[in-house]
Structure 1
Amino acid sequence: MELWQAFGKIFLGGMFIISAASKLRDFKGFRSSLTGALPVNSSLAFVVAVGTPAAEILVSVAIWFGRTAYFGFLAATLLLTAFTVYISYLLRAGTKLACSCFGSSTRPVSGVHLGRNVVLLLVSGGCLFSGGNVVSPAMDDYLYVLAPSVIGLAIVARLDDISTFFGSPTPGSF
């Protein structure tokens, strides 16, 4: 349990920080992607564009403290559920909009993004149900899971590039 909690804190905390920073770095692009994808006006898109990275930052901080860890993992699970529903909506609508999960991207939303979110939900839900604020990992637990957490984080954050690299080549790309 302690190792799982330590992994989740490093992995999910880092993932939400990177995701929020990417969205804030290209705030206009993130906001316009929401306006194009959701049937909302620009003022509501602005609220969602501000609220999403703010929620991601709050979640990444909350999961680190004993008293707020349970609520942080609960919020992470709810936020990831909302993101997964959003990606499912875009896939079902057949839109070719780019995924803005980690800021601006040119790669359209695909099953790869949905699969990534399912994995993130499993990690978040596992942390939520494996102790939340009851389990307090020791320092050596964090050291054991540091490398796998960082490698997993790099894979999740660069998934568009990885899936493009291993994907089938487009005609005329050689």
Structure 2
Amino acid sequence: MTAAAAALAVAGVLAVAALGKLRDLDRFAEAVAGYQVLPSGWVPAAARAVAGAELVSAVLLVPPPVRLWGAVLAVVLFSAFLTGMGVVLRRGTRVACGCFGAQEEVGTGSLTRTALLLVLAVVAGFGAGTPFEPGQLLVAALLVVVVFGVAALVSRRDGTPSGPVLGSRFEIGTDVSAFAGSGDRVLFAFVSPLCGACRAMLPEFRATADRVPVVLVSSADQVAVREHLAEHGVDLPVVTGPDVFDANGVPGPPYVVVTDGSGAVLAHGGANRPEQVARLLDAAGV
């Protein structure tokens, strides 16, 4: 019963994930690009292939005669997802997971959930010929609840920094007031040359500079950062330092901190999309 229930659980999760991706393939493609593990020209095709493979695997996991093929495909998918997430976490960058069509970021929670689903896919493969019974639907639902519950608990207990404290002094190793000019607000955008989401957000940061001073902050080498910006036609002030993320509790790029002219933090948060930047500016009274 366990193997058949595991197959049902994995099939349900994959079906929901595939439908979420298919509803907005462009956004999912952006998430795939953010992982920075594929050449940019391959990204659209890879996004379609992943969503299609998830749907095919979900269908194959239901009938016992072909369940083994569905389980094998699910194992391949989850193994690939784990590899991509591991690369992102080693880099220390903030990347949209793209798992269910939402803007969840890659972290220990998504990593744990994927690993548990991989285990269920393996179990489903070992019981490929087991017929379904009505009681297995309840067991499958319980398995999904356990997987997502454990992942949520791990994510909550994760020691990942959550950004600076509102009202605290912003630290970048230089005088923040020097960037304020005649205004009373400054937007600091944490970026990295290795971050695909950061690259996608550069035009937004450049446009925002028409409203409020924008300073790019990075832990990478300044020469590398400036060369990266020049390639994308961005000319904004840059501050670099190996400890700029840790000094402010910033989990990773792209991340925005809005301060007043003296450097007191007014708003902060992830900045994977333009609307997130707009919300932070509104919160800071810009």
Band of TM-score, shorter chain: 0.7 to 0.9
User: How far did 1:115 drift?
Assistant: 1.0
Q: Distance in 1 between matches of 2:6 and 2:101?
A: 22
Q: Distance in 2 between matches of 1:155 and 1:86?
A: 24
1:113-160 CA deviation, whole Å, 9 max, x = no partner? 11111111111111212x32x3223x3xxx223234224435656988
Query: What is the SS of the residue equivalent to 1:68?
Result: helix
Could you say which structure has the greater relative contact order, defined with CA pairs below 8 angstroms and 6 or more residues apart? 1
How many positions carry a matched residue from both structures?
163
The CA RMSD over aligned residues, in Å, is 2.8
- Greater C-alpha radius of gyration: 2
Q: How does 1:1-174 map to 2 (within 5 A)?
A: 3-105=1-103, 107-129=104-126, 131-132=127-128, 134-137=129-132, 139=133, 143-153=134-144, 162=152, 166=156, 171=165
Q: Distance in 1 between matches of 2:156 and 2:38?
A: 35
**AA in 1 matched with 2:81:** F
**AA in 2 matched with 1:57:** L
Given the superposition, is the C-alpha separation of residues 72 and 93 from structure 1 closer, same or farther in structure 2, using an over 3 Å criterion? same
**Structure with the largest fraction of strand:** 2
Q: Distance in 2 between matches of 1:43 and 1:36?
A: 13
Q: Distance in 2 between matches of 1:51 and 1:158?
A: 29
Q: Distance in 2 between matches of 1:164 and 1:111?
A: 7
Which segments of 5 or more consecutive residues in structure 1 lack a partner in the other structure? Answer: none
Identity of aligned residues (%): 23
Structure 1 segments (4+ residues) deviating >4 Å: 154-160, 162-173
Given the superposition, is the C-alpha separation of residues 127 and 152 from structure 1 closer, same or farther in structure 2, using an over 3 Å criterion? closer
Which segments of 5 or more consecutive residues in structure 2 lack a partner in the other structure? Answer: 167-266, 268-286
**AA in 2 matched with 1:74:** V
Query: What is the SS of the residue equivalent to 1:60?
Result: helix
